[in-house]
Amino acid sequence: MSKLEGKVAVVTGASKGIGAAIAKALAKNGAAVVVNYASSKAGADAVVDTITAAGGRAVAVRADVSQAAQARDLVEAAVQQFGRLDVLVNNSGVYEFAAIEEVTEEHYRRIFDVNVLGVLLATQAAAKHLGEGGSIINISSAVTDALTPTTAVYTGTKGALNAISGVLANELAPRKIRVNVVSPGYVVTEGTHTAGIAGSEMEAGFVAQTPLGRSGQPDDIAGVVAFLASDDARWVTGEVINASGGVR
Ligand SMILES: NC(=O)c1ccc[n+]([C@@H]2O[C@H](COP(=O)([O-])OP(=O)(O)OC[C@H]3O[C@@H](n4cnc5c(N)ncnc54)[C@H](OP(=O)(O)O)[C@@H]3O)[C@@H](O)[C@H]2O)c1
């Protein structure tokens, strides 16, 4: 039996990049998956098509996770479509870098709203439906250790996410719901292309600092998430797992 057979998962920000790979990996392991997107309907539909063509179950649902009503509707869609909820992957995230002189309130609010408030809202909505064996996986970043200049706001969101995840691991443990963090190092995605990182000197710097000596790929992250979603990880909670080729 596939290790996620019978489970239902919501993956936020699954229209592209790391989230798309996670949605496909969970489905490959037997989960029915809600593929969330904010603006890229075509990307989400393509992920759903890939999953259904392979015999899996998935639906695309639009929601801005930083809006409470939309985060709630996203989780309700999973229950309506598939009858239950077992796994929430909080992957949606935005990144944009700025030297301290360039940081604006708008920059701060945009990044914190998606990367931190969005996680709180989706988790709040999901916690109502998760039962014993439920698993929440939050996608953070190795930036919390790297402390790279010009990333104060983004790194701040991921530091907050790590702390929030630890709190929620303790808070939800009495209900036997696990909460863990996966921290990728640099991963080549649509987002890193848009941000101008892919192919840049910054990327070369990341690779040079990576013991395993290459850029990460979305599938490098997805397998770790599938493990944490499964009952193989039933004794693992409150952990931050680096999936970073050895960067710490
Ligand atoms: N790539 C890296 O090197 C790296 C390294 C460490 C950590 N991470 C983290 O990994 C996660 C994914 O990164 P990525 O590189 O795969 O990003 P990406 O390619 O830019 O994709 C981001 C995803 O987040 C979604 N999203 C953005 N705002 C949203 C909102 N308000 N509500 C719901 N979804 C929203 C996007 O949806 P639409 O496209 O539909 O708008 C998209 O599906 C992020 O949390 C990021 O911080 C990435």
Task: For residue range 81-104, list pLDDT tens digits in order.
Answer: 999 999 999 999 999 999 999 999
Task: Tell me, in angstroms, the distance from the centre of ligand 1 to residue 174's CA.
Answer: 31
- What is the per-residue pLDDT for 1? 62
Whether 206 lines ligand 1, by a CB cut-off of 6 Å, is: no
Please confirm, yes or no, whether 154 is among the known catalytic residues. Answer: yes
- What is the per-residue pLDDT for 240? 98
Ligand 1: residue whose CA is nearest its atom 23:
13
**Phi/psi class of residue 100: alpha, beta or left (left: φ > 0; alpha: ψ in -120 to 50)?**
alpha
The pTM for the full model equals: 0.98
Distance between first and last Cα of the chain: 35
- How many other CB atoms are there within 10 angstroms of residue 106's CB atom? 8
Q: Give the DSSP per-residue string, 42-90.
A: HHHHHHHHHHHHTT-EEEEEE--TTSHHHHHHHHHHHHHHHS---EEEE
Confirm if 4 and 32 have CB atoms less than 8 A apart. no
> What residues pair up with 139 in beta bridges, in sequence order?
182
Portion of the chain with pLDDT greater than 70, in percent: 100
The band of 182, judged by pLDDT with boundaries at 50, 70 and 90, is very high
Whether 15 lines ligand 1, by a CB cut-off of 6 Å, is: yes
Helix (DSSP H) and strand (DSSP E) numbers for the chain:
10, 7
The band of 173, judged by pLDDT with boundaries at 50, 70 and 90, is very high
DSSP3 helix / strand / coil % (the chain, rounded to 5)? 50, 15, 35
- What is the per-residue pLDDT for 13? 98
Task: Tell me, in angstroms, the distance from the centre of ligand 1 to residue 167's CA.
Answer: 23
Whether 92 lines ligand 1, by a CB cut-off of 6 Å, is: yes
Task: Tell me, in angstroms, the distance from the centre of ligand 1 to residue 28's CA.
Answer: 21
The band of 20, judged by pLDDT with boundaries at 50, 70 and 90, is very high
Q: Is 34 helix (H, G, I), strand (E, B) or coil?
A: strand
Task: Report d(CA 230, CA 120) in Å as an integer.
Answer: 22
Q: Which domains does the chain have, with CATH numbers?
A: 8-185+219-242 (3.40.50.720)
Q: Is 171 helix (H, G, I), strand (E, B) or coil?
A: helix
Angstrom CA distances, 145 to 66, 150, 156, 185, 242, stand at 26, 14, 11, 10, 10
* Mean pLDDT value across residues 33-57: 98
The band of 185, judged by pLDDT with boundaries at 50, 70 and 90, is very high
Q: What is the C-alpha R_g of the chain? A: 17
Give 130-159 pLDDT, tens digit per residue.
999 999 999 999 999 999 999 999 999 999
State which ligand 1 atom lies nearest to the alpha carbon of 15: 43
